[in-house]
Amino acid sequence: MNKWILAAAISAALSGCAFDAHQSSNLPQGVSLIETVAPSENQVSIPYKKYQLANGLTVILHQDKSDPLVHVDVTYHVGSARELAGRSGFAHLFEHMMFQGSQHVADEQHFKVVTEAGGTLNGSTNTDRTNYFETVPSNQLEKMLWLESDRMGFLLPALTSEKFEVQRETVKNERAQRIDNRPYGRLNERFNQAFYPAGHPYSWPVIGWPDDLDRATVDDVKHFFQRWYGPNNATLTIGGDFDEVQTLAWVNKYFGEIPRGPEVKPEAKTAVTLDKTRYISMEDKVHLPLIYIGFPTVYAQHKDEAALDLLANILGGGKTSLIYKNLVKDGYAVQAAVSHPCQELTCQLSLYAVANPAKGGSLAELETKINQTINEFEQRGVTDDDLQKVKVQFEADTIFGMQSVAGKVSTLAANQTFFGKPDMVASDLARYANVTKADVMRVFNTYIKNKPMVVMSVVPEGQTQLIAHADNFEPSIMPIAQDAVTGLTNITFAKSSFDRNKIPSSTAAPLLTVPQLWDSKLANGISVMGTESDETPTVELLVYLDGGHRLSPIKKAGLAELTASMLNESSTLRSSEELAGALDMLGSSISFGASDSQSYIKVSSLTENLDATLAIVKERLFSPGFLEADFERLKQQQLQGLQHQMSDPNYLARSGFAQLLYGADSPKGISSDGTMTSISALTLDDVKQFYQQQYRAGNAKMVVVSDLNQQQIMPKLSMFNEWEGEATQVAALPALPSHLKNTIYLIDKPGAAQSVIDIGQVSLPYDTTGDYFKAYLMNYPLGGAFNSRINLNLREDKGYTYGARTQFSGAEDSGLFIASASVKSDVTGLALAEFVKEINAYQASGMNAEESAFMRSSIAQSQALEYETPYQKAGFLRMIQRYHLDKNFTAKQDEIINTISIDELNKLAGKLLNINDMVILVVGDKATVAPQLHELGYQVKIMTLAD
């Protein structure tokens, strides 16, 4: 395959995104055009224009009129690396504070405005930057600029001690949920303390140390904002369907009056060095021992970064890698991989392996095998295939990343923030294309061979005998910085020349174009539904087979997933590694999988390589190897994965809640992962028999989204014509179990930092225009949106949780209603009481007129975002196909949204939200939680999962 053979095709595919150069003389006063980049005929690129305001704000515009939406991103060049020792967590805390209202935007209004406009929004923080982003229908752009500018220039007048305290509690809840209450959750922060020198800006966690968060004051936070959140330290990137002249005028209006902040200088890229190999260890509430190894390397965009990426892929990038062969294939590890993550200041070559207890679980033995593998690489060297497959993968990833406006905008924003060059796609492709075998061996010798490393062992509590090596390192304790920021000079606050209290109006919502669909059938009767999408030269093919977990008997739960895993392995013609290598050389992916009610095959391919990719699908589907060695390895991995999940409270809650609602004798009551007992009893013959039952033409349907039209794509699918077999009948669900009234079921998770609360009942099956759809509308103000009653109460008002929600979900013959949250252990009872209060109140009175208007506006306009990417389009097609929907069902939904009365929706709430009919499950520390639950007047019944 010729290197970068798709460059011309991509440029052509993206050429519709180009826009004419705007004359500088026509720009608003204070706006300067910096550069214009149009698509090239010879290389892949993201066309854009870059401007700068007088206050230093960088503005990047990328037009893409393929969908009626815009994506707005504001990236500030500040992350946790800008913090000081002992003053961590400020950048992430500000990610939260920036959503809490500003001088002209009321509390909680930011979420409300975006959601009501039909948009989605979020923010994220890492070591080096913080970004805030919204995707909205194109008519809502001015509102987004109003919102983002107000929190950039006018946040501090609205920043109160009360808001600060609530968000500090929210961050603590986030830390408890994502780190303290998650298996291996504290690994990275412990590892970084050993990897980086004391006081290095990457040596503390992005979310912050709890003591540092407790130490922070509201004045500290204000000073941090003043230092880092000025327009001259920010990039505003806008992509999508917009008018360039109007957009620049709005940008200048809303952002132009914000004064510059203090000057920001790049941080030094000081190389990380280790004096010797450092060993550290940690006991955790986990089942599987894990070893994590890191070598210091370079920094992002260093000349050696690309060669190090290729080295990591050769060592541990999938089934063709040496680490997979020596650790996973041979059964010593359940999982293992190597990567080379890069940050602005440093990179590291990282390796992890999760030990298989069936082989003893010794991390010392794993470390030995890892070192032997590194030595094997030195002897083996680099092959032509090694280089080619990684380069093709990088090219394919780049192309697939261009399928959404958000993906292109985030690329432009990140490249501008860190390197001052928004579009680096072509230069990045060239970097990887130019790596040689000698480059890979050179970086191996420079950064890896015989070099000190950090080796971390994470072992189950009480099993320190499994660690790789005795600890020989303790992190230094840095003195606490007296100030939260440095380099703060005189600050000028923004003043507005117009009334910012007035929310900008919007024009009529853009007309939504539902994808044009076509229907066809293969010669053997398999239904195929498709649509054409010409934005990138790619194909998404999804093959769905009715059955899945529902098709296997309860005593063989997990068989559907195990069979799918076997189909991802060897064929009768080639080994797993040979098939994986062939896919790598095509830049394609093929994945067999299974869920509760279906098995599936997902195929992603560059259009040029579709025929070769489908030949591999054919080989795996029709000629599975079903080798005993593959079976034993995968079975052991599935067993160990189950054991690992048993340490995750969220998994316990999902499994326990399903068992309570549907019963342990129902496939909906037992996880599709299976149980230790069911998986242990499975045989290779079971897999072969299930394959014969499930993978039949009569069970299958297909959806395809491609830049090829129907006449072009259908002949390529003819390979499936030889597929035979009638449909397999799926047994009906058994009767539902009964439950004790006034009872809370409790799964004990000793020492849990948080409790998981699930409340709900079996409810409506799926439909698109009946009571199920109407229940979705009804639920929206209760717990379906961020600013719903339940989330505002438990998260924003009480600070009990990082997030609380309610939802209806459904399939063909069953559905459920669930209210859920992870809450601090010491407020479990209080949080549960609030859930009950809110559900009871909503059942009794329903939504009000304001909530109704918000719901209608939000849901109606959000449809503009639903069909952007090929994968989204494929999901839309599958929904029509699976539920036999009219292709114009969205028009009927629009009519319901606009005309259904509040009274009808509130009657539905009264019917479907009776708390006395619901099951309540809590997963948490019994000693802490049980007394709180008894105080609420409930009986508490201890529950164990079926095995």
pLDDT band at 8 (very low <50, low <70, confident <90, very high): very low
Query: For 544-571, what is each residue's pLDDT tens digit?
Result: 999 999 999 999 999 999 999 999 999 9
pLDDT at 176: 85
Claim to verify: residue 805 and residue 856 sit in the same structural domain:
yes
For the cut 90, the answer to whether the pLDDT of residue 142 exceeds it is yes
Q: Are residues 376 and 462 in the same domain?
A: yes
- The per-residue pLDDT for range 492-507, each reduced to its tens digit, is 678 899 999 999 998 8
pLDDT of residue 22: 43
* Stated pTM of the model: 0.90
Strands 527-532, 538-546: parallel, antiparallel or unpaired by DSSP? unpaired
Per DSSP, the three-state class of 295 is strand
Query: Is the confidence at residue 306, as pLDDT, over 60?
Result: yes
pLDDT of 1 strictly over 50: no
Same domain, 527 and 673: yes
pLDDT band at residue 490 using 50, 70 and 90 as cut-offs: low
Q: Among residues 729, 792, 636, which one has the least CA distance to residue 99?
A: 792
* pLDDT level of residue 401 (50, 70, 90 thresholds): confident
Task: Pick the closest to residue 419 from 269, 240, 307 (CA basis).
Answer: 269
pLDDT digits (tens, 9 = 90+) for 13-67: 333 333 344 445 588 888 999 999 987 777 778 999 999 999 999 999 999 988 8
Q: Which residues pair with 529 in a beta bridge?
A: 519, 703
Q: Which of 668, 656, 725 is nearest to 694 (CA)?
A: 725
Mean of the pLDDT values across residues 245-249? Answer: 95
pLDDT at 495: 87
Mean predicted confidence (pLDDT) in 743-750: 96
* CATH code of the domain covering residue 901: 3.30.830.10
- pLDDT over 70 (residue 650): yes
In this model, does residue 418 exceed pLDDT 60? Answer: yes
**Shared-domain flag, residues 694 and 599:** yes
What's the average model confidence in pLDDT over 640-648? 89
Helix (H, G, I), strand (E, B) or coil at 436: coil
pLDDT, average across residues 631-658: 93
Asked if residue 801 and residue 709 are part of one domain, the reply reads no
**Whether residue 454 is found in the same domain as residue 332:** yes
| CB-CB contact of 170 with 51 (8 Å) | no
pLDDT at 486: 67
Measure the CA–CA gap between 447 and 452, rounded to whole angstroms. 9
pLDDT at 540: 95
Look at residues 204, 222, 255 and tell me which one is the last residue of a structural domain: 255
pLDDT at residue 416 is higher than 80? yes
447, 466, 485 — which closes off a domain?
466
Question: For residue range 878-928, what is the model confidence (pLDDT) as tens digits?
Answer: 998 999 998 888 889 999 999 999 999 999 999 999 999 999 999 999 999
Among the three residues 722, 752, 775, which one is the final residue of a domain in this structure?
A: 722
What's the confidence (pLDDT) of residue 165?
Answer: 87
- Residue 109 in any domain: the answer is yes
In this structure, the answer to whether residues 70 and 181 fall within a common structural domain is yes
Binned at pLDDT 50, 70 and 90, residue 3 comes out as: very low
Same domain, 753 and 614: no
- Alpha-carbon distances of 746 from 57, 118, 659, 741, 927, rounded to whole Å: 53, 38, 13, 14, 11
pLDDT of 867 over the 90 cut = no
Judgement on whether residues 426 and 315 belong to the same structural domain of the protein: yes
286 and 235 part of one domain: no
Given the structure tokens 């992962």, which residue do they identify? Answer: 673
Confidence of residue 489 (pLDDT cuts 50, 70, 90): low
In a domain, 735, yes or no: no
Q: Which residues contact 664 (CB under 8 A, 6 or more apart)?
A: 554, 670, 946
Burial class (CB in 10 A: 0-12, 13-18, 19+), 570: buried
The pLDDT assigned to 21 comes to 41
Number of domains in the chain: 4
Q: How confident is the model at residue 840 (pLDDT cuts 50, 70, 90)?
A: very high
Q: Which residues of 791-810 are buried (b: 16+ CB within 10 A; e: fewer)?
A: bbbbbbebbbbbbbbbbbeb
> What is the C-alpha to C-alpha distance for residues 46 and 408, in angstroms, rounded to an integer?
7
Rounded (5°) CA angle 21-24-25: 125
* Separation of alpha carbons 280 and 220, rounded Å: 33
- 420 has a pLDDT exceeding 80: yes
pLDDT of amino acid 488: 62
Q: At what angle do helices 849-862 and 109-116 cross, to 10 degrees?
A: 50
Residue 445 lies in a domain: yes
Same domain, 759 and 622: no
Residue 487 has pLDDT above 70, yes or no: no
Quick one: pLDDT band at residue 139, thresholds 50, 70, 90?
very high
- The DSSP output letter for 881 is H
Of 174-183, 433-442, 768-777, which range is least confident? 174-183
Helices (H), 683-803: 684-694, 710-713, 771-779, 789-791
Quote the pLDDT of residue 177: 85
Residue 523 lies in a domain: yes
Rounded to whole angstroms, the Cα distance separating 618 from 744 reads: 50
- Note whether residue 87 is domain-resident: yes
What range does the domain containing 648 cover?
517-722
- Kindly state whether residue 504 falls inside one of the protein's structural domains: no
Residue pair 390/317 in contact (Cβ under 8 Å)? The answer is: yes
Q: What is the pLDDT of residue 865?
A: 77
Span 172-198, average pLDDT: 90
Indicate the DSSP class of residue 401: T
Q: β-strands 589-594, 598-606: how paired?
A: antiparallel
* pLDDT recorded at residue 25: 58
Position 610 pLDDT exceeds 50 = yes
In a domain, 483, yes or no: no
Instruction: State the DSSP H helix or E strand holding residue 802, giving kind and residue range, or none if neither.
Output: strand 801-810
Same domain, 229 and 291: no
pLDDT (0 to 100) of residue 377? 96
- Token readout for 362 is 């010794």
Among 170-184, 324-338, 679-693, 777-791, which stretch is predicted with the lowest mean pLDDT? 170-184
* pLDDT for position 426: 86
Residue 564 falls inside a structural domain:
yes
Q: How far is CA 913 from CA 567, 807, 809, 853, 908, in A?
A: 43, 11, 14, 21, 8
Q: Which of 7-21, 249-263, 332-346 is predicted with the least confidence, judged by mean pLDDT?
A: 7-21
- pLDDT value at residue 821: 96
- Looking at residue 492, what is its pLDDT? 67
> Would you state the pLDDT for residue 315?
95
Tens of pLDDT along 372-393? 999 999 999 999 998 988 888 8
In 3D, which of 250, 252, 258, 253 has the Cα closest to residue 506? 250
Q: What is the pLDDT of residue 19?
A: 38
* Average of per-residue pLDDT values in the chain: 91
How much of the chain, in percent, has pLDDT values that exceed 70? 96
Collapsing DSSP to helix, strand or coil, 161 comes out as helix
